[in-house]
Structure 1
């Protein structure tokens, strides 16, 4: 068992070194700049140093090295816990983290200074590690289900680590003989517990790395498809979804309405009140429209003050009613610009084109629907603005 734990320590050091090398290689990328990854890098560095100190403990006798090696390992455990907290709730290192770590180190120094049996030192370190990791487990149980799937690996690793440390806190006192050191355990169970703690720690670290990667990928995907100002889909994502909705409309034989909305005299707002006021109007408009749409509807910004709404399973009469209700809602809306200087009002013109596969045999492309809606929007603008023009896609006879 002595050789087994020594070999396990060497494997543990190599694995931590490999993880540390990977984290260092990505530190200048989008993933590496995330705060939880930086904390994970520090945790991996502390774990690597702690593994090395434990391996060299036989060549570095004395109580100082015993305290130092366990304190470095404990620092790595706390940094892992803080990394999970940073990912889940956005809180990084704080004073209480340092206090918990220092309290454990001082307590261990006291035990060593009193020359208590090694079994009591094992129990103290095990309970210390349990308290350092416990906050991560509680946060994962509360927030982890609503977050990335890889956090299940982190949760499992925390459970394994905590069960192992709690068992290890009791095991030396039940053994037939007093343990001398980590490399000279009192029973074979010590080796298995050390293996379980090692597996749990790696599950936490790799799980955090994968969860951070998941979140980065999701954020990049959102940036690629979402308009940053209004939270709507951007032009490219909207046009792609319109093509899918046309095919589904044809396949399911259900009508589809496409609406182009354009804010009236928006340039005056930017010229008279500034672009910050214009941004506030766009945000207020998007929020008002979004609040009246169904979950299945599509809402995107085509550029500037022009927006697009796609209404699946909506016929010509229903589409005109929905869009006219949106027009009235915008007409009643007031927006307070930054600085609170007065209230701004705005109106919107809309062109609505409806494709009904039960009535029209020809299936349009996305470009054709957009072109028809643009013609209707042009008519609404030249008819006096603040109105809705609606038509089937083949016939441009408006409602």
Structure 2
């Protein structure tokens, strides 16, 4: 089916105006979440298509040079929206160098036909490749928005590819914006799909990023930055499942700072908070890459040691304890000596284990370490 090309351009422009206006209202003049720049991209897209509808009725400067420059500007706005959504610094200069270069080149080539069409297609093609790359780079783990953006960029690349093939085949006149044929119908329809995919993909990406941040906040201890009790238990569940599948040992350790209540009573809770952060930083720096530590509650921490048997876990915890005792916390010109007691439990046959049983055994060993005078570690018994 062949549609009237300029009517299609007008319809796409109307859709882009509506979508762009809504996104700008949502953005509320704040560009940090990418909604404002996405809306501006939609409006630039609509203005470009309005220019295309007037091809042959107004000067080439407006209907071709300015219109294609606005189209390139729309892609530039989409480009900067991707890092903005993630709160990162966008490549403003690189993104908007494309429409500036395109405007200059089209002004120089305005009296030609094939060269100006090829230049416009190739620069727009390059911008779509950049969006394709950034969509993959800024994907939210487990999200789907980046796939929509990549599909949108792929659709645009396909539409531009059609135009390039027709131009190189010696029929550039068939790609004039006032000509209606099947190739133009397909090309403009693909352009409309691109606008929808980009807008929907960027909005969904923003939502995925917010949900990811909320989840991270819900699973993080605000004082130490460590995984909280819920998060570290989720990690232990995952590690136990992995150990069962791979038939590898798994150990855990419950660590409890010695006499922490006395630190709070003697120096105040602010100093106590600083001591907890010092312990957190010290332990994290000395753990192996695959080990995990989380704040289990108060001054108590849960340590997960994948691929480590009981003896190896006991040795590692002993090294951590000795290291901490040798590095006092320095808070407000005060040196606060630190130590911890630990209960260690290791299993070489995780198939028979469960989370509750492992925690109870490590906790029982921790209490034996406290009863033994603290500043030591005790290996849990099998029963």
- Class of the TM-score when normalised by the shorter of the 2 chains: 0.7 to 0.9
1:306: which partner in 2? 300
Q: Does 1:61 align with 2:58?
A: yes
Q: Give the deviation of 1:251 after TM superposition.
A: 12
Cα distance change on mapping 1:229 and 1:282 into 2, 3 Å: farther
Q: How does 1:254-293 map to 2 (within 5 A)?
A: 258-266=252-260, 268=263, 271=267, 274=271, 277-278=274-275, 280-288=277-285, 291-292=287-288
- 2:284, 2:293 within 8 Å by CA — same for their partners in 1? no
RMSD: 4.7
| Matched residue count | 376
Aligned to 2:92: 94
Matched, 1:23 2:23: yes
Q: In the TM superposition, what is the alpha-carbon distance from 1:388 to its structure 2 partner?
A: 1.6
Alignment map for 1:64-213 (pairs within 5 Å): 65-66=62-63, 67-84=65-82, 86=84, 90-112=88-110, 116-117=111-112, 119-139=114-134, 143=137, 149-165=144-160, 167-169=162-164, 171-172=166-167, 174-175=169-170, 178=173, 181-184=176-179, 188-213=182-207
* Partners of 1:268 and 1:190 in 2: CA distance: 76
Q: How far apart, CA to CA, are the structure 1 residues paired with 2:348 and 2:123?
A: 68
Indicate conservation of the 8 Å contact 1:77/1:132, yes or no. Answer: yes
Preserved contact between residue 161 and residue 201 of structure 1 (Cα < 8 Å): no
Structure 2 residues not aligned, in runs of 5+: none
1:389 to 2:378 alignment: yes
Distance in 2 of aligned mates of 1:250 and 1:205: 44
TM-score by length of 1: 0.70
Report the Cα distance in structure 1 between the residues aligned to 2:307 and 2:154, rounded to whole angstroms: 48
Please say if residues 355 and 392 of structure 1, whose CA atoms lie closer than 8 Å, have aligned partners that are also in contact.
Answer: no
Match of 1:40 in 2: 38
How far is the alpha carbon of 1:76 from its aligned partner?
0.4
For the Cα contact (< 8 Å) 1:171–1:190, is it kept in 2?
no
Following the alignment from structure 1 to structure 2, what is the Cα–Cα distance between the partners of residues 156 and 248? 34
Pairing of 1:272-351 with structure 2 (within 5 A): 274=271, 277-278=274-275, 280-288=277-285, 291-292=287-288, 295=290, 299-310=293-304, 320-333=314-327, 346-351=338-343
Deviation at 1:333, TM superposition (A): 4.8
Are residue 380 (structure 1) and residue 376 (structure 2) matched? no
Distance 1:100 1:11 in 2: 26
1:161 Cα deviation after fit:
2.6
Tell me how far apart the structure 1 counterparts of residues 117 and 246 of structure 2 sit (CA, whole Å).
68
